Amino acid sequence: MAAWLDGDTSRPVVTTAVRFTLEELADVAPGNSVEVRVPPAGAVQAVAGPRHTRGTPPNVVETDVDTWLGLATGRLSWADARAAGRVNASGERADLSALLPLQAARPRPPR
């Protein structure tokens, strides 16, 4: 995460940052009612509620890696991303605004 925050946009760094933040989301909001997809880097099921087991989940959030990392770090708000069409969210539990940004992914203040 630190490497991405410092400006490294290489594929391995971005993929690792996305996977780390998806894991953080699952830790902050454990559950299986929302599937968060950030192709091609990763996906996770999170948020408490009815468990989904087959087919397309009823609650899906999908976005690109840049948007996801912006949301996870607070560089982009959920409302702005939705308004710009950068996030596709379907289902009644697919609003992640109360969970983002992720505390562990926020940029550190300058020293």
Q: Residue 44's beta-bridge partner residues?
A: 36
Confidence tier at 105 by pLDDT (50, 70, 90): confident
Reported pTM: 0.90
pLDDT, tens digit (0-9, with 9 covering 90-100), for 57-85? 789 999 999 999 999 999 999 999 999 99
